[in-house]
Structure 1
Amino acid sequence: MTNTARDITKRTSIGAQRNPASEDAILTAAAEILTEGGLSAFSIEAVARRAKAGKPTIYRWWPSKAALLLDVYHRQKGETFYPDTGATRGDLIAFLEALLGFWKTSGGEVFRSIVAEAQSDPAALEALRDYAVTRCRASGVILERGVARGEIRGTLDIPLIMELFSSFCWQRLLTGRLDPSRDQITHLVDAVLTGFATERGGAQ
């Protein structure tokens, strides 16, 4: 194949601005490689070959492998909604069930890959940390509604409490236990909402 032919088969780039067709091809290729071979098969080179895109284009839009992985994950997850059941307890149960359900059916493998990448790549760790902080702040809307309804104290560190719930999901993901029962999830939510200590224990 001539250089000219190779250039034609590669999807066009328009600098730092993303070409929608190229972006879709790259994200699709990345998702397919992860599904077929896992993180060990995933590389920018492999994605570029499958998407018929140039490596410089990919690195221009995604400065690290972790950034590309996170975009693949976002694409699978779609727009995030936090159900409003009318009560904080119901909202938290729905939140946990939805996240664990998503990880069990499609997004779990990609997110595990991101976590694994973060263990050896400082850029991946930074991207994952930023993502985690952002998501805990966003999901805090669940508790903010509870404050507005007068169900929970307004003095709580809301992102920190949401990190507690998210940590339960992360631990379940990383240990392959994505099928807690509704009773277990409800027990966890109730324990956090009501507190652990008895009156006597709390006084101590």
Structure 2
Amino acid sequence: MTSNSDQPKPVKARSRSSIGAVRSPQSTEAILEAAAAILEERGYQAFTMDALVERAGSSKPTIYRWWKNKSALLRDVYERTALTFVTQPNTGDLENDLIVHLRSLWNWWRTSSAGETLRSLIAEIQHEPKTLEEFRKEFLPRRERTLRKIFARAVEAGDIHDGPAVDSAVSMLTGMSWLHLVTANLENLDYIDSAVAIVVKGLRSG
């Protein structure tokens, strides 16, 4: 007869959030989805880690193990959602591609929680040197990638010349867009067309 102590013990199922330092894709997706839903439903000012824990079915230790602070988490939410709503056109027409991309970006900022979230993040990190440096050196260059790809295709096609002027053009269009973002002045999409036309004309003439 086998004693109870010899019987195999049932294995306790591990929760999605109990996998240690390695991120679970399912848990990551659940947390980012929950954060995005809270932002859309309640807005940035009502976003709290407690609300996120309840919505995602996760825990604060897990969240802070994977994202060192709220800013890092919300930057990931922003970039994940941008993949769906920000257009990355490739029509072969430099001016048109720039306009389509920037119009989709402004529209997304204006009609969703993305604009408010990014404005609030920018404001909050002004007195956090390390976070601000990370934002400037890592997040911002990633947000410029589509513009740079559009310009790179135009260089490859012989439409414009490569060089410092292209970097300046990226900075001009990014700066123009972010100025309108932080001042919540995103209604006049025709402004994009005028700015792009000026930049492209300058690149071609150079």
Separation in structure 2 between the aligned mates of residue 195 and residue 185 of structure 1, nearest angstrom: 15
Indicate the larger mover: 71-80 or 86-95: 71-80
Describe the shift of the 1:28–1:161 C-alpha distance in structure 2 as closer, same or farther (beyond 3 A). Answer: same
- Per the TM alignment, residue 138 of structure 1 is displaced from its structure 2 partner at its CA by 4.5
Aligned to 1:56: 61
Describe the shift of the 1:116–1:38 C-alpha distance in structure 2 as closer, same or farther (beyond 3 A). Answer: farther
Q: Deviations over 1:181-203 (max 9, x none)?
A: 43x3222112122239xxxxxxx
Separation in structure 2 between the aligned mates of residue 92 and residue 179 of structure 1, nearest angstrom: 18
- Of the candidates 186, 197, 206, which is equivalent to residue 190 of structure 1? 197
- Of the candidates 92, 110, 114, which is equivalent to residue 86 of structure 1? 92
- RMSD of the TM alignment (CA)? 2.6
- Return 5+ residue gaps in structure 1 as ranges: 1-7, 197-204
- Per the TM alignment, residue 38 of structure 1 is displaced from its structure 2 partner at its CA by 3.3
Does 1:118 pair with 2:125?
yes
Aligned to 1:97: 103
* Counterpart secondary structure, 2:127: coil
Does 1:24 pair with 2:29?
yes
Say which one has the larger Rg: 2
Aligned to 2:149: 141
- Return 5+ residue gaps in structure 2 as ranges: 1-12
- Per the TM alignment, residue 159 of structure 1 is displaced from its structure 2 partner at its CA by 3.7
- Of the candidates 169, 185, 193, which is equivalent to residue 161 of structure 1? 169
The aligned length equals: 188
The answer to whether the 8 A contact 1:13-1:22 is kept is no
- Of the candidates 140, 158, 170, which is equivalent to residue 150 of structure 1? 158
The answer to whether the 8 A contact 2:99-2:196 is kept is yes
Aligned to 2:184: 176
TM-score w.r.t. structure 2 length? 0.77
The answer to whether the 8 A contact 1:117-1:124 is kept is no
- Per the TM alignment, residue 21 of structure 1 is displaced from its structure 2 partner at its CA by 3.2
- The amino acid of 1:189's aligned partner reads V
Separation in structure 2 between the aligned mates of residue 186 and residue 33 of structure 1, nearest angstrom: 34
Does 1:35 pair with 2:43?
no
Separation in structure 2 between the aligned mates of residue 38 and residue 125 of structure 1, nearest angstrom: 22
- Per the TM alignment, residue 157 of structure 1 is displaced from its structure 2 partner at its CA by 4.7
Describe the shift of the 1:75–1:135 C-alpha distance in structure 2 as closer, same or farther (beyond 3 A). Answer: closer
